[in-house]
Structure 1
Amino acid sequence: MNLRSAAYQATRRAGHVAIAVATLMGAATATASAQEGKTLRFAFQGTLNALDPYTLNETFTLGMLGNVYEGLTKRDKDLKIIPGLAERWEMLDPLHWRFHLRKDVKFANGNAFTADDVLFSADRIRADGSDLKTRIPADSEWIKVDDHTVDVKLKTPNPILFAEWDTFYIMDKEWAEKEGALKPVSAKDANPSPSAYRSNGTGPFTIESHEPGVKTIFKVNEGWWDKPEHNLAGVVFTPIAADGTRVAALLSGDVDLIEPVPVQDVERVKSDPNTDALVGPELRVMHLGFNQIRDELPTSDVKGKNPFRDPNVRKAFFQAIDIEAIKKRVMRGMSTPSALLIAEQLYERSGDFKRAPYDAEAAKKLLTDAGYPDGFTIGMDCPNDRYVNDEAICQAVVSMLAKIGVKVNLNAVPKAQYFAKVLAPGGYDTDFFLLGWTPSSLDSWNVLTSLATCRDEKGKGGPFNLGGYCNKKVDELAAQILVETDLAKRNDLIHQAYQILIDETSHIPLHQPSLAWGKRKNLDITQRADDQVLFYWARLN
C-alpha cells in the first residue's frame, strides 16, 4: 500500500469511527435528557469484554467494573483504604477478623445486600476460572454471624488481609443463582455464557447495555447507598484502538476523556484551548518474562533444551536492552526505569537495587559462554492496545536483541487475544512476553506471589508467573512475608526475595510509565496513580 492509499484508508477508518461515536453521542444525549445530568463520553485504547468481576485481574477492567461493583473496603483519592460495604472491622485475635456490614444497601436490581452475598462471593472468587483467587486466603473460613456480620478465620496471621479487597467485588447470590452465574467466567473461555455480559452490583452506576468491542453504556444507580460526588446521568464508553483517531475524537469534542494520550501527542493536547492532559506517576511496572518451565521452547530454533533455563542467557537479554533509549525514543521521557518488579514508591528499600547496565558486548559474551555464539530465534508475545506504547516497546526490544544475534519473531495482538493466549488452557502459551503489573495490595507480597512464586504447567501457583520461574526460597520468603507483622523484619524478607530475583534475572523490569489521560477542559476527574478510571469522581461543567 502506498502512502497516499494508506492515508486514505486511515482517513476512511477515522471517518467510520467518528460516525459511530456521533451515533453513540446521540443515544447518550437521549439517555441523559431523560435524567437531570450530563453524559461523560470516554474512550480507551482497549476493549471491555466480560463483565464478570472475577474474570480478569487487569487494572482497566477492574476500574470499569469498580463503577458498578463494590468491595468490603474501598480506596480514596490518595489510595488510602477506607470502609466500603463493610462500615468497620476488627481483629479479634491474629487469626480471627470480624467485618460489620452496612445495612440498607441494595443491589441494582433491588435485592438486599447481606452476609450471604459475602460468603457466596468469597467462595466464588476462589473457584476454578477466577483470575482473582489471591484476593483472599485459599484456606480461610468465612462465617455468617448474622445478616450484617461476617467472621473470617485464618490458619496463619495475615497483616494485609484486606489490602486487596477494594477490587474483591461482592456479588448478589440470588441474582447469580437466577442468571446461572454460580461459577466465574474464565478469561480463557472463548464462548462464555450470556451471564458473562450482564452485571448487578451495589455501586454508583449500572450497565444499561454492553457490546464488547463496540460500546458500553453506564447509567446512574439511583438507589446507591452513598452520596454521589459526580454530576453525571451516565457514561458512554467507546474503545478506540488507533492513537490518532482517539486523540482526534478528543480534540474535536466527540469524547470528553481518553486514555492513554500517546506520549508524542501530550503537548498537542495540552496546547489546545479546549483540552488538557493529566500526567502523573503510575504504579505499574512493565517487564519482560521468559518461559523457563518447558524442556523445549516451541517458538525457538534451539531443539532439545530451553536456553532460558540458563541465567546467563536471561542476563544477556537484560544487558542487551538499552532502557534509556526506550525512555527517550519510545516513551518521549515519560517513564522511569525500574530495577525491581515493583514501583519504587511502594517499597521503601527500593533504592538499594540498581539495574544491570546496558552493555551489548557483555551480553554477546554471556550468550557465547552459554553456548549460543550466533544467538538463536525466539517468538515474543506482546499486546498492542493495553499499555502505553506497548507494541513500540516490543519492537524496540526486538531491534536491540538483534544486535546480539537473537532473532525475535514478534506477535503483537489486541489484549483480548494476548491474554487468551498467554493464559491458555493446559499451560501458559508464551516463550517471551511483555507484561505490566500494578500490585492490587500496593505491597510487595502481591508482586512476589503473583509474578514469581512457582507454578506448574497447568497454572497452579503464581497466577501471573507466565514464564514459570521457580525458586523454592522465593516461595518460602513470600509465605513468611505474608504473616510477618514486624515491619523491619518484613522489609528484610522482601529485600532477600528481590535480591534473588535480580541475581537470577527471573524477569527483566523495564520501567514505570507515566499516566497520560486527555480530557476536555470542562471535565474535572480524579487521576489516581493506580490508573483506575472511576466515573464517580467526574464532574462535567
Structure 2
Amino acid sequence: MNQRLLSPRFCAPFRASAMACVLLAALMGAASAQAETLRWARSTDASTLDPHALNNGPNHNLLHQVYEPLIIRTADGKLQPTLATSWALTSDPSVWEFRLRKGVKFHDGSLFTADDVLFSLQRARSPSSDMRSLLVSITDVVKVDPFTVHIKTSGTTPLLPDNLINIQILSAAWAKKHGVETPQKPTAKEETYATRNVNGTGPYTLVSREPDARTVLKQFPGYWGRGLFPLQIDELIYLPIKAPATRVAALLSGEVDFVQDLPIQDIARLHADPKLRVNQAAENRTIFLGLNVGAAPLTYSDVKDRNPLADVRVRQAFQLAIDRSAIQKAVMRGLSVPTNIIAPPFVHGYEKAFGAVGKADVAQAKKLLADAGYPNGFGITLHCTNDRYLNDEAICQAVAGFLGRAGVKTTVVSRPLAIQTAAINSQDTDFYLYGWGVPTYDSAYVFDYLVHTRGKNARGATNATRYSNDEIDRQIVSLASEGDSKKRDATIKTIWTTVQKELIYLPLHDQIQTYAMKRKFDIPVNPSNTPYFKLFQLPVDTSVAAAK
C-alpha cells in the first residue's frame, strides 16, 4: 500500500476525508494486481489528436486519456484538481492564481512546469484553435515561479476555472521540437505532427494509431496519479465501429468489453443479458436543428431568389410542425427529454419556462408558411449526422416527415460527424442537425459558440446560422467579466429571451445516454459522455456471470 495515501497533505487537494483516504488506499492495494485490458467501442473516432484543434465530444473523449487539463469535472459535476492542485482569486479580482502539481512527467520523461501552462494556454488562444472562445477573457498569463501561474482576465471572471476543463496541457519543448506551436487547421485539411502523435501527462500513452479503425493506449508507468487513482485498466483498445448493429454484435460476442453510443432498439435485449451490465443517465447534451437565417439565397433549397428561413414566420412554422413528443416515443423510445431550449437543465441560466414544449400544430404551420409567401411550401435539404447522436438519422427522417405534412419537401442527406462538423465550421449548410454539450455548466458557453456573431471578438466559432445581433454580442461579451451575479443572471435571461424569440435553432430533446459492458466492469455514465478510465474501480461481483 502506498503510504502517501494516508497523508492529509496528499489527500487534501482531492477534498477527501482521512477515513476516505484510508479506504481508498485499501482498495488500491487490493486492486493493484487486477489490471485489465478494456476494448472500447464507439460510433465515431476522434478526428485528430491535436487537443486544441477541434472542440467536440469524440475528440475530448479520447484525448482526456492521454492529455490532462489543469482541472477536470467528474461525474458528480464537481471540479477536481488535476495538473493544478489549487486555484483562487488573488487580491486583484481580475487575477486567478493556479498552483501547479510538482513531480509530474510528460510521456517523454520531461518534467511539467509553469512554462508548459503558459505555452498551452497561448496555443489554445491562437486563431486556428477551436478552443479559443473559452479563453477570450484572458489578457495575460504570467509565470510567478516554476509551479505558480497567474492568469489575468479582462475584469472579474468567476467562471474561468470551469472554462479550463477541456484545455489540455502540452509540453512546450515537444511542440517546438516538432513544429506544432500552433494548432492544426482541420478545415484546411491540414495534418501536423500533433495530428497523430501525443505527449501528455495523462494516465495512458499512445502505442499505435489507425484513424477510424483502432487506437491502442497503455498505462504510463511514470503517471503522477499512481497510488492515488485505481488505474485498474492497464490497456485501452479504442475501436470506432460505425454500424450500430455491428457494435452490439461485437459486445455480445465478446469482441469488445464496453460500448458507448448504443442503438436504442437493442437496449432492452442487452439489459436482459446476465453477462452484461447496462448503465444509464441523463447526458449534458441537447440535440437541435440549426437554420441559416442570414444568407440570401440558400444553397440547398429550391427557392433561388430569397431565403425563406430569414422570415421568422417560416421558422415558427418549422417549430410548430415538428412533434417532439412523437420523436421521444417513436424514435427515441423514451430515452430523451423533449425541450425547447438549446441547453440541458445542468446549465446555469436554464429555466423551465424556456424548456417547455408546446403541442405540434400542422394547420397553424401551414398558415404561417402561406402568410410568408409559401402556400405550397418549398424544398430544402436537411444535413444530418449518421454516426454521432442517438438515432440521429432516424430523427432527421422523422423531422422530414413532420415538415412534409406542412408542405415543406425535405431531403435528408446523412453523413459522418467529421463531414457535418466541417460543413458547419465552413457554413456550408442551410439546415442541419447538431448536438451541443455545455462542459462549463453555464449559458455563456452556449452563447459564445452558437449565438455570437461568427468571427467577431473571437467568438461564434460554431454559429453556422449567420445570425448576427450587435446588442446581443455586447451582452454576451459582458458575461465574461461581470462580477455582479444578479446583474449577470439578468443578462443571461435577456439573451435567452431573444434566442427563444428568434428561433435560429429549433431544439428537439436532451439525450439520455446508455453504456453497456461486460459485467466485470461498472463504468458510470458521465454527463459529459467522457469516461475517465483512471477513476474506475472493478466491481466486487462473485457471480458466475461476472466471472465469464
TM-score for the superposition, normalised by structure 2: 0.89
1:384/1:414 contact within 8 Å kept:
yes
Query: After TM superposition, what 4+ stretches of structure 1 lie above 6 angstroms from structure 2?
Result: none
Alignment partner, residue 167 of structure 1: 166
Alignment partner, residue 325 of structure 1: 326
SS of residue matched to 1:88: strand
Alignment partner, residue 275 of structure 1: 276
Q: Deviations over 1:427-446 (max 9, x none)?
A: x1110011101112111110
Once the two structures are overlaid, the 10-residue window that deviates more, 55-64 or 269-278, is 55-64
SS of residue matched to 1:391: helix
Q: Deviations over 1:207-230 (max 9, x none)?
A: 111110110001001111112313
Give the C-alpha shift of residue 181 in structure 1.
Answer: 1.2
Q: Match of 1:253, as an amino acid?
A: G
Q: Deviations over 1:167-189 (max 9, x none)?
A: 11011010011122111012313
Do the aligned partners of residues 461 and 231 (structure 1) sit closer, same or farther apart at CA in structure 2, a change above 3 Å counting? closer
Q: Match of 1:166, as an amino acid?
A: I
Do the aligned partners of residues 345 and 439 (structure 1) sit closer, same or farther apart at CA in structure 2, a change above 3 Å counting? closer
Alignment of 1:233-244 (within 5 A): 233-244=234-245
Q: Does 1:419 align with 2:421?
A: yes
Q: Does 1:246 align with 2:244?
A: no
Q: Does 1:441 align with 2:440?
A: yes
Q: Deviations over 1:149-180 (max 9, x none)?
A: 11111222211012121211011010011122
Q: Match of 1:89, as an amino acid?
A: W
Q: Deviations over 1:384-404 (max 9, x none)?
A: 001111111111111111111
Once the two structures are overlaid, the 10-residue window that deviates more, 179-188 or 434-443, is 179-188
Aligned counterparts of 1:331 and 1:230: Cα–Cα separation in 2? 35
2:45/2:58 contact within 8 Å kept:
no
Select 1:527's aligned residue among 509, 513, 525.
525
Q: Match of 1:364, as an amino acid?
A: K
1:526/1:537 contact within 8 Å kept:
no
Give the C-alpha shift of residue 414 in structure 1.
Answer: 1.0
SS of residue matched to 1:222: coil
Give the C-alpha shift of residue 476 in structure 1.
Answer: 2.5
Do the aligned partners of residues 170 and 331 (structure 1) sit closer, same or farther apart at CA in structure 2, a change above 3 Å counting? same
TM-score for the superposition, normalised by structure 1: 0.90
Q: Match of 1:363, as an amino acid?
A: A
Q: Once superposed, what is the RMSD of the aligned Cα atoms?
A: 1.8
Aligned counterparts of 2:287 and 2:467: Cα–Cα separation in 1? 17
Select 2:363's aligned residue among 361, 364, 384.
361
Alignment partner, residue 222 of structure 1: 221
Give the C-alpha shift of residue 348 in structure 1.
Answer: 6.0
Q: Match of 2:60, as an amino acid?
A: L
Select 1:86's aligned residue among 79, 84, 94.
84
SS of residue matched to 1:344: coil
Q: Does 1:180 align with 2:179?
A: yes
1:131/1:187 contact within 8 Å kept:
no
Alignment partner, residue 480 of structure 1: 478
Once the two structures are overlaid, the 10-residue window that deviates more, 280-289 or 92-101, is 92-101
Aligned counterparts of 1:251 and 1:421: Cα–Cα separation in 2? 36
SS of residue matched to 1:499: helix
Alignment partner, residue 397 of structure 2: 395
Give the C-alpha shift of residue 249 in structure 1.
Answer: 0.9
2:292/2:504 contact within 8 Å kept:
no
Give the C-alpha shift of residue 241 in structure 1.
Answer: 0.9
Alignment partner, residue 343 of structure 2: 342
SS of residue matched to 2:53: coil
Aligned counterparts of 2:392 and 2:368: Cα–Cα separation in 1? 27
Percent of counterpart pairs with the same letter? 37
SS of residue matched to 2:67: coil
Aligned counterparts of 1:219 and 1:36: Cα–Cα separation in 2? 15
Q: Deviations over 1:218-256 (max 9, x none)?
A: 100111111231312211011111111111111111111
Aligned counterparts of 1:97 and 1:466: Cα–Cα separation in 2? 33
Alignment partner, residue 232 of structure 2: 231
2:138/2:151 contact within 8 Å kept:
no
Unaligned regions of 5+ residues in structure 2, if any?
1-32, 540-548
Do the aligned partners of residues 113 and 460 (structure 1) sit closer, same or farther apart at CA in structure 2, a change above 3 Å counting? closer
Q: Match of 1:382, as an amino acid?
A: C
